[in-house]
């Protein structure tokens, strides 16, 4: 999910998979200016030059993570007894500012490199095959929580709209002004779903009603909520936090 936390789970210890994911981010956040100077051969006294080098290294890190990605490797799943209660709210705004969306009039817009650009309502989305998962949400801020999400396998949805799966990216625009994007390989991963339910009920407003992307192989900010539009493209759409310096790939 997105970034400002409201509550933290009581068990706030780093889990092994969190450590593994964060290790992938060290090039973006852990190098000293001296190390950057050695690697780049540049005089990094100028702030703009530092930013350019960091952005270049972040993009390099994205490419490496993409090459390491295994489409058949699954994120760990858990029994219902391990679900975090209460599950924390997390966004770049307070919980009272979460958007109220009318499910009766909701339309999911589809565009880009797809054959069928008709919009979808909630009844049509629920008529598609559904899957459930109990997985761990891992936040870049250093905490994690286990939850249960159910919804449409994203690759099933992409097949129904005739998406060009040779395209590089899938982008998301959200009702809370958030936006993000993922690579096509992650979009087609068997655990990536368009979540309609949290636990045994429709997504609550604070958790992304009526639709959120659940990607257990990515950090939390790559799981956009309140999705209003999906598009397929060969141009990297960036993201709300990614455009502010967060590593774009941010996954395993």
pLDDT digits (tens, 9 = 90+) for 67-125: 566 678 899 999 999 999 999 999 999 999 999 999 999 999 999 999 999 999 999 99
Residue 153: left (phi > 0), alpha (psi -120 to 50), or beta?
beta
Percentage above 70 pLDDT, the chain: 72
| Sign of the CA dihedral running 169, 122, 138, 78 | negative
The per-residue pLDDT for range 212-248, each reduced to its tens digit, is 999 999 999 999 999 999 999 999 999 999 999 888 9
Mean pLDDT of 41-50: 51
Instruction: Give the pLDDT confidence score for residue 245 in this predicted structure.
Output: 86
Could you say which of 3.40.50.10330, 3.20.20.10, 3.40.50.2000, 3.90.420.10 is the CATH number of the domain covering 74-244? 3.90.420.10
232, 191, 208, 234: which is closest to 71 by C-alpha?
191
- Determine phi and psi for 170, rounding to 5 degrees: -125, 130
Domain boundaries of the chain, sorted by first residue? 16-68, 74-244
Dihedral, 120, 126, 131, 136 alpha carbons, nearest 10? 70
């Amino acid at each position: 999910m997105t970034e400002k936390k409201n509550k933290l789970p009581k068990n706030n210890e780093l889990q092994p998979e969190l450590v593994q994911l964060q290790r992938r981010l060290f090039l973006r956040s852990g190098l000293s200016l001296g190390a950057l100077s050695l690697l780049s051969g540049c005089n990094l006294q100028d702030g703009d030059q530092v930013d350019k080098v960091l952005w270049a290294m972040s993009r390099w890190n994205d490419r490496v993570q993409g090459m390491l990605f295994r489409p058949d490797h699954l994120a760990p799943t858990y029994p219902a007894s391990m679900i975090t209660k209460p599950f924390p709210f997390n966004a770049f705004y307070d919980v009272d500012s979460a958007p109220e969306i009318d499910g009766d009039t909701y339309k999911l817009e589809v565009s880009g490199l797809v054959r069928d650009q008709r919009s979808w309502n909630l009844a049509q989305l629920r008529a598609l095959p559904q899957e459930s998962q109990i997985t761990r949400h891992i936040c870049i801020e250093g905490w994690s929580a286990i939850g249960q999400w159910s919804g449409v396998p994203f690759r099933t949805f992409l097949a129904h709209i005739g998406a060009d799966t040779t395209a590089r990216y899938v982008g998301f625009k959200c009702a809370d002004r958030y936006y993000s994007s993922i690579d096509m390989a992650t979009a087609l991963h068997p655990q990536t779903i368009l979540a309609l339910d949290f636990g045994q009920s429709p997504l609550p407003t604070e958790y992304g009603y009526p639709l959120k992307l659940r990607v257990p192989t990515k950090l939390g900010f790559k799981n956009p909520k309140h999705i209003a539009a999906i598009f397929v493209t060969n141009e990297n759409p960036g993201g709300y936090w990614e455009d502010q310096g967060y590593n774009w790939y941010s996954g395993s």
